[in-house]
Structure 1
């Protein structure tokens, strides 16, 4: 008799364990009845914790634990079986404490970006490829509630007076959210997750994103104070690549990083990080990229590392590169190296309201300041490659900046190729800074 009871207890434990595992791992779409139950629980929590939920001084982690305990107590009162209770518990916690259907994707390290195009249309990026997912929000209100829950800890919100918000979360992830009227079909949310594990050089080799020869050359250029621009389209990994290049920077130099959103993870000890500030408040000034670049020149840096140059701040950066801050680096949006130096940067220079340059003057400034361009590209299969490494050779007869390819990626052969061009100007610059680059 005892053995039969023991077997029943064992079977029951196994059944409960299977239910727990299934509920935790599967994506749950709530039924109509479950939605009503969750709505009632949300109402109870909102009433019980009204003061705490609006008090920014309260420890959120401690409050979440109290709310989670209350959720479990409320669910245990319901006349439903064990599996339904666990389903309701997961859904309620996701919707009240977590971020609803997005929580599982935020917890998945393989997912690098989450894009909510509408409350019922969510896609994610995995290994550079966009994939649709089954998860969705129950309605527009649920999506807007999650957006504000994401923004609340950093003191931001989306509303009619501020229908678009760009923000950085505590973990470094970047968030862009919009609501009607600027997105008339409903709220949108984009989360670019912050990667805590820095992409090291060996990882680029492992992923076949660059060759060893290219990497060795870039390491010499960084150590030898060659001024570098990393160029590429959206999602090509420009900031991540700049982060990798920064690992070659000497320990004894004074470095300043300037970003809209802090993403660079320089490991050197002498690093000061500056971040822009966008304020829509009459009592506070906005601090843009240009102001920070100008301020950094008075802070005695050996090099300035700008996360991304996208406006008139490029004028100050080019001036810095030309006047004692050689070896500075930045990234820029462009489809090719030629597009960067002959279209994108000249256009950004026009955005500097305090300056006016002729086309030739712009080209001269660019050719004098930038010595090397690294172009990144994302292939159709999601793989990112270093498609070009070019040296800036001066101004041509047509008044355009001249470039010479040193390394290129051959798409047909899927190979990285050295063109045979030896950049003498860069070699001399390296030699002056104590770095040897033999012609062979």
Structure 2
């Protein structure tokens, strides 16, 4: 048999926890995908598809897989430690290959066994991609089209599933880990992986060309504001301002578009919260990675097959108020829960945080007002705006530039009302200055130099006024100019 030239990602014992055994569903002779090595860039969209050699490889794998199913109870193996289970599957598969005297090269045999291990203990063709820490998103558009995002750029891989049924099987396995399901009666599902990575699945009949699976991966090494400074997302002075905002318990809304890094920024800012504070988080799929010891994590629940038992985000936020939280953190505000979050911010839960989709701080305020109005709250617009002004201290805007880089473009204070208009002030702003020869956007962060921020009294109360003054002065071009002149 012709030897395969494309290497397969190799699993390492203990990489990721194995799925629960009760949810293991064995695919029918699924093919071994041409995966990429953990640090290898996938082939571009025009890469050649598999030929006769690969088809023959799939047929051989079907023989081995069928014999493996006859020889051992896979559900029992899946219940054991992943490392032990992988060793057992490898040993049995090797014996089967030797008994059948299959004409496999060393590389083909290793690839075949690796693919079988991934199917039984993991998520099949996705495993090599999930093991890569440089991938931020995995986007599966049917069985044959799998894209990834690396360093802000979207690339097409040559990984594939055997069929749409195989893909749906893997989707079922993923969502069942958090007690959810995806099928024709419930074709849309949000879930998460064991490491907190966010998962969205859309199945038939809504997805016309086959199930669509989107995974927002979390890095194994948890990011901090120091990392964001290293990436150029913000300056050290701006990061210091964000640390102080978190420390002095400013009520904060993080705004941004899809993929702009809102959740990552929220995780980074929560590191400034004192270890002795009680924090309650509310999320559709639990993905926040708070480091404090006193954290209660709540997750919404969809309706069951009979349409009953749904627990919405608003239900969670309302219940938070009975749990004696010191801070409430909402993973994403997208509906009527906005009103309950503002009430919580305004009734003694200072330092609460949440994210929402908007392209600017001003648009974030408009979206909050719209969500409250659409949510059935019968209040005059001015009353809603007054509530927003009394509840929200700071809006942090995250953006993804057209070159793929993510930056924090605004740190904006909510000051008050002038007539019926909410007044704001940009405390810190990113100014685009042009484009470099490499196509990268160039710009700079700077403070607006308007004097003391609105949360100055909070900074004094927490003895952070000296740090705040230094961070503002160091990023104020007028102060830097005076120092140069001196």
TM-score bracket, shorter-length normalisation: 0.7 to 0.9
Change over 3 Å in CA distance of 1:283–1:191 after alignment to 2: closer
Aligned match of 1:32 in 41, 44, 55?
55
1:416 lines up with 2:445 in the alignment: yes
After the TM superposition, which of the residue ranges 409-418 and 90-99 deviates more from structure 2?
90-99
Which residue number in structure 2 is paired with residue 212 of structure 1?
Answer: 236
Question: Structure 1 residue 119: deviation in Å?
Answer: 1.2
After the TM superposition, which of the residue ranges 57-66 and 28-37 deviates more from structure 2?
57-66
Deviation per residue, 1:359-406 (Å, 9 max, x gap): 111211111110111101111222111101111121233x23221111
Aligned-partner SS, 1:414: strand
Distance 1:216 1:154 in 2: 37
1:312 lines up with 2:336 in the alignment: yes
1:402 lines up with 2:431 in the alignment: no
Which residue number in structure 2 is paired with residue 93 of structure 1?
Answer: 117
Distance 1:270 1:79 in 2: 56
Q: TM-score, normalised by structure 2?
A: 0.79
Which residue number in structure 2 is paired with residue 289 of structure 1?
Answer: 313
Change over 3 Å in CA distance of 1:46–1:395 after alignment to 2: farther
Distance 2:179 2:252 in 1: 36
Question: Structure 1 residue 75: deviation in Å?
Answer: 2.1
1:374 lines up with 2:403 in the alignment: no
Question: Structure 1 residue 20: deviation in Å?
Answer: 11
Which residue number in structure 2 is paired with residue 387 of structure 1?
Answer: 409
User: Is the helix fraction higher in 1 or 2?
Assistant: 1
1:82 lines up with 2:111 in the alignment: no
Distance 1:69 1:155 in 2: 33
Change over 3 Å in CA distance of 1:95–1:393 after alignment to 2: same
Equivalent residues of 1:374, 1:388 under 8 A apart: yes
Change over 3 Å in CA distance of 1:24–1:260 after alignment to 2: closer
Aligned-partner SS, 2:228: helix
Which residue number in structure 1 is paired with residue 256 of structure 2?
Answer: 232
Distance 2:269 2:7 in 1: 43
Q: TM-score, normalised by structure 1?
A: 0.86
Deviation per residue, 1:197-243 (Å, 9 max, x gap): 22112111111111122122222222222111111011111111111
After the TM superposition, which of the residue ranges 182-191 and 213-222 deviates more from structure 2?
213-222
> For structure 1, which runs of at least 5 residues remain unmatched after alignment?
1-17
Equivalent residues of 1:391, 1:423 under 8 A apart: no
Question: Structure 1 residue 22: deviation in Å?
Answer: 5.0
> For structure 2, which runs of at least 5 residues remain unmatched after alignment?
11-33, 37-49, 434-441, 474-486
Question: Structure 1 residue 73: deviation in Å?
Answer: 2.1
Which residue number in structure 2 is paired with residue 10 of structure 1?
Answer: none
Distance 1:129 1:20 in 2: 26
Change over 3 Å in CA distance of 1:278–1:157 after alignment to 2: closer
1:171 lines up with 2:171 in the alignment: no
Distance 1:86 1:368 in 2: 63
Which residue number in structure 2 is paired with residue 428 of structure 1?
Answer: 457
Aligned-partner SS, 2:413: strand
Which residue number in structure 1 is paired with residue 323 of structure 2?
Answer: 299
Change over 3 Å in CA distance of 1:206–1:60 after alignment to 2: same
Aligned match of 2:371 in 330, 342, 348?
348
1:197 lines up with 2:221 in the alignment: yes
After the TM superposition, which of the residue ranges 247-256 and 370-379 deviates more from structure 2?
247-256
Aligned match of 1:361 in 383, 387, 402?
383
Change over 3 Å in CA distance of 1:294–1:308 after alignment to 2: same
Question: Structure 1 residue 415: deviation in Å?
Answer: 0.5
Equivalent residues of 2:190, 2:201 under 8 A apart: yes
Equivalent residues of 1:406, 1:422 under 8 A apart: no
Distance 1:171 1:219 in 2: 25
Question: Structure 1 residue 320: deviation in Å?
Answer: 1.0
Distance 2:407 2:95 in 1: 53
Deviation per residue, 1:313-343 (Å, 9 max, x gap): 111110111111122111111011010002x
Equivalent residues of 1:256, 1:301 under 8 A apart: yes
Aligned-partner SS, 1:244: helix
Distance 1:72 1:402 in 2: 70
